[in-house]
Structure 1
Amino acid sequence: MREEVVVHTTRVEHPRIAEEEAPGLPVRVHPWYAFPPPPSPSDLEHDLTPLRLVLSSRAQEAFRRLGREAAGAVGEVVRQARTDWKECELAGALAEALWARGIRPLLLLVAGEERLFRHRHPLPKERPLGRAFMAVVCAARRGLVANLTRMVSSGHPRVEARYRRVLEVEEAALAASRPGASLGEVFAALQEAYARVGFPGAWEEHHQGGLGGYRSREAVATPGHPLVLEAGMVLAWNPSLAGAKVEDTFLLREGGLLNLTEDPFWPAVEVGGRRRPDLFRNA
């Protein structure tokens, strides 16, 4: 009997897997919102998951400290990074800064100019950062996980243009994130926003985020997801286009969203009345 090795992956991971991890092997690509066939652990099949989605006041305070310190560590390192650094150098510096604060880097992704437009989940490589680069961090402490992304550009026109559009998409998600709304309704707002900025199918290229908390994503938003948002939940949306992504972690309150990973030292731009991270423009 003839045997064949086939790599099963999502559209999110496909380019990187085919190019960097398993070149030459046949690949079967699945939509990110329908893979793997059995529900993944972030799809609420575990009985305890719904019980922990609304955080206690103590957990909320711990999350504030985690978000503030993680954002400070990431911002400090990324602002100091030079264009001739390798991606793995930046990842190493980020890990050192986070561990120094008692924060475990659950995930570290770095893409320099060469790989920024090709891979959404770029594992750090021996590639130079160049004129534009991205750092993605999932930072864990005492069980809680804060998610954030920061981007740098020294006048890269394509990155600049796409980042503006990603901010518009994110604003639609943030505006729709209120108590009583469902994850599916927020997801629909994201889909409409992608179409509005000229990229109607881009939501299929990468998951858009969802509920955070004790995992990077406790529940990933998908079309029609019925889960209803409540005050005390944590949200981390990460809309993206090839070459640009924005991401912070927010606490949902009755009066609106509180950005847990805001960095007062990072350059900001106002979008929809909210202070959002701008591109950092290095020398």
Structure 2
Amino acid sequence: MPTARIAGSFMQRMSETGLKLERLRACISERKLDAYLISLRSNFAWLTGGGYNHVGMSSDTGAVSLLVTRTRAYALTDNIEMPRVQREELAGKGFIPVAYAWYQAVPAARIRRIVDSSRWCSDDGAFGSHPLSITELHAPLLPQEIERYAALGADASRCVTAVCRRARPGMSEYEIAGMLAHAFLSIGILPAVLLIAADERIRAFRHPLPTSNKLRRHLMVVVCAQRHGLIVSLTRFVHFGKVPRDLERRHAAAALVDAAFILSTRSGRTVGDVFRAGVEMYRRTGFAAEWKLHHQGGPTGYHAREYRAGADSREKIVPGRAFAWNPSITGAKSEDTIITVENPDDAPRILTEDPAWPMMAVEYEGDIIRRPDILVR
């Protein structure tokens, strides 16, 4: 199996799945359920320590489901998927295989044989079940998850740096996106989001899908990179020739707002506290209304964003919680993925920082943080 597909050591993955089954079973017991069915790719990856249950990538629902009862755990899929998933995703984890012929639509009947009651829920409402989200169980991340996350962040940021240094005027946004997809896929990273904009399209659109538009002087690269289910997000800018003063001003302001978001993300505070600190920095930099033009990001992990943060977000931040803030000022943006640490006096750890990328020092309330500068070519 390629190194990039190994989600930690065999023993780590066993213990990780065991700990997560405890979290899930506590939820099942608290809600007086008999079982819970997982089909979403994000939840499958979370529970299995980075496993994949999909075939096509166009659906959030995978081809393999996990049925967890108070005492047992089952893997349900057809005879096409079972051999691979047993060997490569679930080996040694204690899931009882329940296979059926691909031409028989029998998953619901199999579930009824295992769970002799109507007291079960699912993550996607399958088979007429009541949908119940378990995203809140994903946090805090376990040490082995943080290790995988840090490796992903380092790899993803290096890929972005390499492609930004290879990009040339005259290349289309499609070509640059293709180089980045190749760099990602060659080390087992899935490009969950890949936005590329050149020149005037940067100011025109917050979510610029790549087009045939050709790069002249200014390039924006935005990615959400996924491996073992975890997703990191980052944004980088390249400029060929001297950077215009107005662009420098906007980029510096976006970095200041980002510093406010990142350095305010500490254990014990609420997500709403952080959001308000970021909005206040928009005002102090002279761009008070820009936050209304795009969401500011929020908690991340097995989703690009679990939800979009707002001033009324009440979640209490804990150690081991991942966030991706993405403040933007028309034509500029600052974005990385971070994770909170044990000591609330310490700044969060930035997972997507590449030492090879030019950085700028930014001060916020007496603390200094490094934020990505524009790469001038």
Between structure 1 and structure 2, the one with the greater Rg is 2
Supply the distance in 2 between the matched residues of 1:274 and 1:194 (Cα, whole angstroms).
17
Supply the distance in 2 between the matched residues of 1:112 and 1:271 (Cα, whole angstroms).
26
CA distance 1:128–1:194, change in 2 (3 Å): same
Aligned partner of 1:149 in structure 2 is 235
Supply the distance in 1 between the matched residues of 2:264 and 2:369 (Cα, whole angstroms).
14
User: Which of 313, 321, 344 pairs up with 1:225?
Assistant: 313
Q: Look up the SS of the partner of 2:312 in the other structure.
A: coil
Alignment check: 8 A CA contact 2:154 2:352 kept? yes
Supply the distance in 2 between the matched residues of 1:241 and 1:95 (Cα, whole angstroms).
27
Aligned partner of 2:146 in structure 1 is 60
Under a length normalisation based on structure 2, what TM-score does the superposition of the two structures give?
0.62
Alignment check: 8 A CA contact 2:260 2:277 kept? yes
Per-residue deviation at 1:159? 2.1
Per-residue deviation at 1:239? 0.3
Supply the distance in 1 between the matched residues of 2:316 and 2:169 (Cα, whole angstroms).
44
- Amino acid in structure 2 at the alignment position of 1:174: I
Per-residue deviation at 1:61? 0.4
Supply the distance in 1 between the matched residues of 2:341 and 2:147 (Cα, whole angstroms).
13
Supply the distance in 2 between the matched residues of 1:113 and 1:159 (Cα, whole angstroms).
12
Aligned partner of 1:258 in structure 2 is 349
Per-residue deviation at 1:122? 0.1
Supply the distance in 1 between the matched residues of 2:275 and 2:243 (Cα, whole angstroms).
30
Post-superposition CA distance 1:86-143 (Å, at most 9, x none): 1111111000000011100001001100211100000001111221110000000011
Aligned partner of 1:236 in structure 2 is 324
The aligned runs of 1:77-226 (5 Å cut-off) are 77-154=163-240, 155-157=242-244, 158-226=246-314
- Amino acid in structure 2 at the alignment position of 1:277: P
> What is the total number of aligned residue pairs between the two structures?
239
Aligned partner of 1:278 in structure 2 is 373
Q: Look up the SS of the partner of 2:267 in the other structure.
A: coil
Aligned partner of 2:70 in structure 1 is none
Post-superposition CA distance 1:243-278 (Å, at most 9, x none): 111111011102331111110111111112122211
Q: Gapped runs of 5+ residues in structure 2?
A: 1-123, 125-130
Alignment check: 8 A CA contact 1:68 1:262 kept? yes
Q: Look up the SS of the partner of 1:264 in the other structure.
A: coil
Supply the distance in 2 between the matched residues of 1:175 and 1:250 (Cα, whole angstroms).
10
Alignment check: 8 A CA contact 1:132 1:159 kept? no
Alignment check: 8 A CA contact 1:153 1:160 kept? no
Alignment check: 8 A CA contact 1:102 1:141 kept? yes
Supply the distance in 2 between the matched residues of 1:101 and 1:271 (Cα, whole angstroms).
32
Q: Look up the SS of the partner of 1:151 in the other structure.
A: strand
The aligned runs of 1:8-23 (5 Å cut-off) are none
Supply the distance in 2 between the matched residues of 1:248 and 1:176 (Cα, whole angstroms).
15
Q: Look up the SS of the partner of 1:147 in the other structure.
A: strand
Aligned partner of 2:22 in structure 1 is none
Alignment check: 8 A CA contact 1:114 1:130 kept? no
Please say which of residues 176-185 and 248-257 is displaced more in the overlay: 248-257
Supply the distance in 2 between the matched residues of 1:139 and 1:259 (Cα, whole angstroms).
15
Supply the distance in 1 between the matched residues of 2:330 and 2:320 (Cα, whole angstroms).
32
- Amino acid in structure 1 at the alignment position of 2:306: E
Supply the distance in 1 between the matched residues of 2:319 and 2:208 (Cα, whole angstroms).
33
Q: Look up the SS of the partner of 1:226 in the other structure.
A: coil
Q: Percent identity, please.
A: 41
Supply the distance in 1 between the matched residues of 2:294 and 2:139 (Cα, whole angstroms).
23
- Amino acid in structure 2 at the alignment position of 1:169: V
Supply the distance in 1 between the matched residues of 2:319 and 2:169 (Cα, whole angstroms).
42
CA distance 1:87–1:204, change in 2 (3 Å): same
Per-residue deviation at 1:153? 1.7
Post-superposition CA distance 1:206-227 (Å, at most 9, x none): 0101111001011221121101
Supply the distance in 2 between the matched residues of 1:175 and 1:137 (Cα, whole angstroms).
22
Question: CA RMSD of the aligned region, Å?
Answer: 1.4
Q: Look up the SS of the partner of 2:158 in the other structure.
A: helix
